[in-house]
Amino acid sequence: MDNKFNKNKNILVNMMRTFYQTKQANLFGEKTLEQKYLELINGEYNFSNEIEVLDRIDWDFKDFTTQYLTHTFHSYPARFIPQIPLTFVKLFTKEKETVLDPMCGCGTTLVEAFLNNRNSIGNDFNPLATLITKVKTTLIDEKEFRYFNRKLAVMKRYLDLDYRRVDERINNLPNRKISKIFNRVVISKLEAIRETLLEVKEEGHKDLFDFGRVALSSTIWSLVENGNGIDVDNLFLKKVKSMQKELNKMAKIAKNVPEVKVICGDARKLEIKTNSIDLIVTSPPYVNALDYYRAHMYNMLWLGMDFDLFRKHEIGGHSHFIINRFRLLSEYLGDMLRSMIEMNRVLKKDKLCVIVVGNSSLEYELIESHKFFAEMGKKIGFKPIKTIFRNIDKTRKYTSADIGKIDDEYILVMQKLDNTDVSADDDNFISEVVREQMISFREQIKKVQGTSIRGRKPTKERLLKNIDKISEAIESIPKDIKIKR
C-alpha cells in the first residue's frame, strides 16, 4: 500500500515538475523553445561540452515563463530572469553542491538552486532583499498555515470595527513619513495587519511572521504603485493565499529539501568560508543606475527596517558625487573589485563565477561594466572564459533614461584558476587597479567623446569637460575608494 502510494506520489511530483519547468506542450506535438532549452540543460556533458552548450542557448529567452512558484512573491528592481541562474546551476553543479549569490536581491539564484536540490547561500546588504529571499526558500507545513489562516480570519472579522484606534495607530507608526502618503483607512488597516503579524511572532511562529511580512510589504508596494483606492485587507489576504499556494507547490517539487543560508551583509566582506563554494551566479547593481533603498522605501519603513546603513554601503547608488559623476565610477569600480576578490576567496578552485551586468552611462559616456570586471578578474586569479550578450525586454522598468537606460545585458563567465593573494581590504591594490582602469577609460574618451548620447545633444565643449572631470576623479581615487565607516 505504502509502495503504491509512494509510486503515485512520485509520478505526480514528476508531472508537476515537468509542468512548471516547461510550458504546456504545443498542441501539434511540436516542441516549444522552452522545452528545447530544458532538454539542452538537462543533458549530461563533461566540462568543455558544457561550455559549448552555452553557445547553443538563445539567451534572450523571449516569451519564456519567468514568473512561477515563489518567484511571484514580491517585486524587486533589476532582478534577473530565473533561466540565467538555472542554466549555470544545471550545467555546472551537482545535487547538494553549494551555489552562492553575494548580491542576491530577491533570491532568484537561490530559488533555482532550491528547485534543483542544490544548497545555496544568499547575501545582500538590503534587509528587505534578505527577508524576501528567506521566505521564498523556506517551506512551511500545512498545520502552520491552518493556524495562520485562523489568525487572519479573526483579524478580518474585527477589522472594520477597529477604525476607532486610527489616531492611536498613526501615533504608533514605525516612521512618521509613511502617514503622509496613505489615507486614514489604509493606515488603520495596514497597522491592524502588522499588529496581527506581531502576535504571530510572539506566539512563536517566526517563519509565518516573515512570510506575512513579505505579503504585507508586497501589498504596500501595490498601494504605492496604484494609489489609496484599493481594498487593502482583501489585497493582503489574496496575496497570502496565492503565496501559500505557490509555496505548497514548491514543497511538492523540492526533492530533499536542500540547505539554504541567507546573510544580511556586505559583499565586500563576505562571512563565508574560504574555498567552500561550487558556483557563483550574481548580478551586481549598475553604476549610477538606481538606489535600491529608494525603490522600496515605504515598505521598508513600514516593516521597521533601517535603510540608513544600507544606503551608506550600497554599491553604485547615484546619490553621491553629484558634481563629478566620474568619482562615482571610481568608487563603484573599487567596490566591485573588493567584491570580486571576496568571490574569488570563497569559490573553490576551477569553479565558475558568473556576473550579469548591463551597460550604463555617465555624463553621456558609455560605461561597459563587464569589460572593467573581466580586466579586474584577470588580476585576481580568474580567467574570463566568455562574455554572452543578451537583449533584454526594453519595457522592464530598470531606471530612468536620464540616469542611464539599460536595454542589453552581458553575462561574464569566469573560472577561478588561483587563490588571489590580495585581500579585499588592501586599499593600495584597489587604488592601483582603479587608477589603471580610469586612465584607460580617459584615453578612450579622448579619442571619441559622447559614446552614449541618447536623445539629447550636448555641446562639444560640454563633452570635452568630461576629460578634465575624469582627471580630477583620478586624483581623488585613494580617498573615494575607501569604505565609509
Ligand X SMILES: C[S@@+](CC[C@H](N)C(=O)[O-])C[C@H]1O[C@@H](n2cnc3c(N)ncnc32)[C@H](O)[C@@H]1O
Footprint of ligand X (CB under 6 A): 76, 78-80, 103, 105-106, 108, 124-126, 129, 266-268, 283-285, 292, 313-315
Q: Shortest approach of ligand X to residue 381 CB, angstroms?
A: 21
Distance CA 245, CA 117 (A): 20
Cα–Cα distances (Å) from 130 to 76, 110, 112, 214, 263, in that order, read 12, 11, 16, 11, 7
What element of type H or E holds 442?
A: helix 427-447
List the grid coordinates of 377: 578578474
**Minimum CB–partner distance for residue 137 and ligand X (Å):** 13
- Are 342 and 410 contacting, i.e. CB atoms less than 8 angstroms apart? no
CB closer to ligand X, 190 vs 305: 305
- Shortest separation between residue 95's beta carbon and ligand X, angstroms: 22
Residue type present at position 16: M
Residue 103: which residues within 8 A CB-CB, separation 6 or more?
A: 123, 124, 267, 282, 283, 284, 285, 315, 339
333 touches 437 (CB < 8 A): yes
Nearer to ligand X, 131 or 267 (CB): 267
Q: Which is nearer to ligand X, 125 or 364 (CB)?
A: 125
Give CA angle at 81 (236, 235), nearest 5°: 10
Q: Using CA atoms, how far apart are residues 399 and 301, in angstroms rounded to an integer?
A: 22
* Nearer Cβ to ligand X (187/337): 337
Beta-bridged to residue 366, according to DSSP, are: 361
> Minimal distance in Å, beta carbon 313 to ligand X?
5
CA-based nearest residue to 34, from 44, 49, 13, 19: 19
Element (H, E) at 348: strand 347-357
Nearer to ligand X, 105 or 212 (CB): 105
Quote the least distance from Cβ 307 to ligand X, whole Å.
Answer: 10
**Residue whose CB is less far from ligand X, 41 or 289:** 289
Whether residue 270 contacts residue 101, with contact meaning beta carbons closer than 8 Å, is answered with no
Residue type, 451: T
| DSSP strand pairing (360-362 vs 347-357) | unpaired
Minimal distance, residue 443 CB to ligand X, in Å: 29
Question: Measured from the CB atom, is 117 or 369 closer to ligand X?
Answer: 369
In the complex with ligand X, which residue's Cβ is closer, 119 or 126?
A: 126
Neighbours of 67 (CB within 10 A): 8
Helices in 227-306 by DSSP H: which ranges? Answer: 232-253, 292-295, 297-302
Give the nearest residue (CB) to ligand X.
105
Q: Which of 242, 421, 268 is nearest to 338 (CA)?
A: 268
- Residue closer to ligand X by CB (options 100, 237) is 100
Smaller CB separation from ligand X, 78 or 430: 78
d(Cα 272, Cα 280) in Å, to the nearest integer? 13
Nearest approach, Cβ of residue 12 and ligand X (Å): 30
Question: Measured from the CB of residue 280, what is the shortest distance to ligand X in angstroms?
Answer: 12
Q: Residue 106 CB, nearest distance to ligand X (Å)?
A: 4
Shortest Cβ 316–ligand X spacing (Å): 7
